[in-house]
Chain A
Amino acid sequence: MEGLRGLLVDLAVIAIFIGGIAQFRTPAGARKGNLTAALAFAIALALLFYRNTIGHMWIVVTAFIVGGGLGYIVSARIGMTRIPALVAFQNGAGGGAACLVSFVELTRGGTDFLAAREVFGYVGLVVGGATLAGSIVAGGKLAGWLRQRPVTLPGHNVALFAFLAAVTTLAILSGGVRDGVGAALTAGIAVAALFLGALFAVRIGGADMPVLISFLNTCSGLAAAFVGVAVGNQMLIAAGAMVGSSGLILTLVMARAMNRRAGSILAGSRLLDASASELDTEVEAPFLADAAVSEASRPSSSPVASADPPVLRARRALARAASVVIVPGYGMAVAQAQRDVAALAAELEKAGKLVRFAVHPVAGRMPGHMHVLLAEAEVDYDKLFEMEAINDDFASTDVALVVGACDVVNPAAMNVENTPISGMPILRVYEAATVIVCNLDDKPGYSGVPNPLYDDPRTIMLLGDAKDTVRELSAGQD
């Protein structure tokens, strides 16, 4: 009976967690949902201390304060441009914790494990370890510590399978072994899992990062759930399942938004049949924009059809426009131009124009990246429109202003066959009367497919650091 009561209490706490998720419909609801889940977490912790006598309190409390304090400080200070990296590292921390708990449970003496539970323990160990290493690689790329370009080693697939085989073999060997040899074998599994994760993540990069980061999110949840089965904790299982589902949905949404299969992206399919040199054209500016790059590549006065410099023509187009749709992309994040874009939008609005933002689902480096950037820059939430909601309006829009986006506005996706982006739904900016493009350069985007929009006579190209070009536009709107 005691067991049943405990189970019911656990299920009640799980229900509160689910109640938190259910409120994620609107920003205000999401905030309440977040607090609801935090409350459920507090109850779960209190229950644990009520039901068990926890020893070594000084270690427990110190670890709690150090980890929690660090997490809180980082979260309170971090700018929204660095959120993708933070989320990647959070995925890693979740995986790492699951890996460590599995390791201790699998190796400690005196534990009498059911065989089935032990299997879950090993799976949790491997998935957790792989998630940790994969997330460190992903976070390193997103933070600009590693190059974002995908890296494929010779025999990459063979190496992946070799590590997978090693992990499986070691798990079979160490199963049921509870002595020093068992511990050594289990440690070997953890190390192999780390290599597995790093190898997996290193060959995914650039615009495919949203899929990778979502997938790692799934894995961190699954690792927690597997550990939950191993240690027999229902809350761990349920919470892991929630996170796993959420990450899975995001993975599929991101892949669908690129008209590609999640599986092939994660298997490192390179997008490109095009030459490797074209791949090199991806903007490799470090995550935090650096001035050197922008200075070096600011032609600004490239001769176009009209005699007037493009900046003047762009200002005129904006001054005449009654409706403007702004399309932000990863380039805006790199240039940290979100506040300048927001300021320009505010000025245009003050001049009585209809100003809206159109956000492609995979713009940026993680799901929802552009939304948090613009929210931080205090752009009103009602002005952000998703692709389906605004795509039909481009035809009646006077100016489409593209800031640091390329592939997501590339008409080649619709009318050229056999390119990496063929069939990808795009924002139809080319339907607008005038298109202003504030990109660093006129090279193809991550996909390597040249953008015919750039050569359209209705397009005005303002090349250079988006922060500067957007400010120049702004300066003309007095």
Chain B
Amino acid sequence: MGEIGLMLSIFAVTSAVSYLLISRVPQRLHTPLMSFTNAISAVTILGALLIFSHEPSSLGSLPSPSVAEAVLGGLAITLAAFNLFGGFAVTDRMTEMFKR
């Protein structure tokens, strides 16, 4: 359970720190903030990539993915990559427009 405890601590601390920081984001940056956080939530791509991992990971030794797993994993990568590139790109565009 030590591992779960560590993970929950990371969740709690990051939530608290983010809450404090984001409370100070001005209203006019709320839309870019949302697309920015959507880009960040694309970290799920790390989980999707690990589906294709051959080596022992933290989950123990994994077999090579089956066809169904590979298809679902590929779909997950596609969705996450959409957010990753789309989120960072559109946030960059918006914040640049604001700079004028």
Contacts and interface: CB of A to CB of B under 8 A. Distances in A.
Contact size class for B?
A: 35 or more
B99 A367 contact: no
Given A75-B85, A100-B79, A242-B18, A233 B50 contact: yes
B81 A68 contact: yes
Nearest to B23: A249
Contact of B37 (A44, A110, A221): A221
Nearest to A52: B53
Interface stretch (A112-120, A263-271, A304-312, A455-463): A112-120
A428 interface: no
B33 A75 contact: no
Contacts of A49: 49
A113 B4 CA distance: 12
A98 interface: yes
A33 B4 CA distance: 30
Contact of A24 (B33, B45, B92): B33
Contact of B29 (A35, A228, A368): A368
A55 B53 contact: yes
A28 interface: yes
Interface string A36-59: 011001001100110011111001
A18 B10 CA distance: 13
Contacts of B82: 67-68, 70-71, 90, 93
Interface of B is mostly: helix
A218 to B, nearest CB: 9
Interface in A219-273: 220-221, 223-225, 227-229, 231-250, 253
A386 interface: yes
Contact of B32 (A30, A71, A103, A105): A30
B37 A71 contact: no
Given A31-B92, A63-B75, A369-B31, A220 B41 contact: yes
A49 B67 CA distance: 22
B95 A30 contact: yes
Nearest to A367: B30
A87 interface: yes
A97 interface: yes
A257 B22 CA distance: 17
Listed residue (A21, A223, A240) with the most chain B CB atoms within 10 angstroms of its CB: A21
B98 A24 contact: no
A83 B31 contact: yes
A395 B30 CA distance: 28
Given A239-B41, A243-B37, A246-B33, A233 B86 contact: no
Interface stretch (A193-201, A294-302, A373-381, A411-419): A373-381
Interface in A57-94: 59-60, 62-72, 74-76, 78, 80, 83, 86-87, 90-91, 93-94
A108 B14 CA distance: 30
A75 B39 CA distance: 12
A240 B88 contact: no
Nearest to B76: A100
B27 A386 contact: yes
A238 B31 CA distance: 21
B75 to A, nearest CB: 6
A100 B72 contact: yes
A240 B61 CA distance: 26
21 contacts: A24-B22, A24-B36, A31-B96, A34-B39, A41-B40, A59-B73, A72-B86, A87-B34, A93-B79, A108-B51, A224-B41, A227-B47, A232-B59, A237-B10, A242-B14, A245-B14, A245-B19, A249-B19, A367-B34, A371-B27, A381-B28
8 shortest A-B CB distances, which residue pairs? A71-B86, A67-B81, A368-B30, A27-B98, A367-B30, A368-B31, A67-B78, A75-B90
Interface of B: 1, 3-4, 6-8, 10-12, 14-19, 21-55, 57-66, 69-70, 72-100
Interface of A: 7, 11, 14, 17-18, 20-22, 24-28, 30-31, 33-35, 37-38, 41, 44-45, 48-49, 52-56, 59-60, 62-72, 74-76, 78, 80, 83, 86-87, 90-91, 93-94, 96-98, 100-101, 103-105, 108-114, 116-117, 213-214, 217, 220-221, 223-225, 227-229, 231-250, 253, 359, 361, 366-369, 371-372, 375-376, 378, 380-381, 384, 386
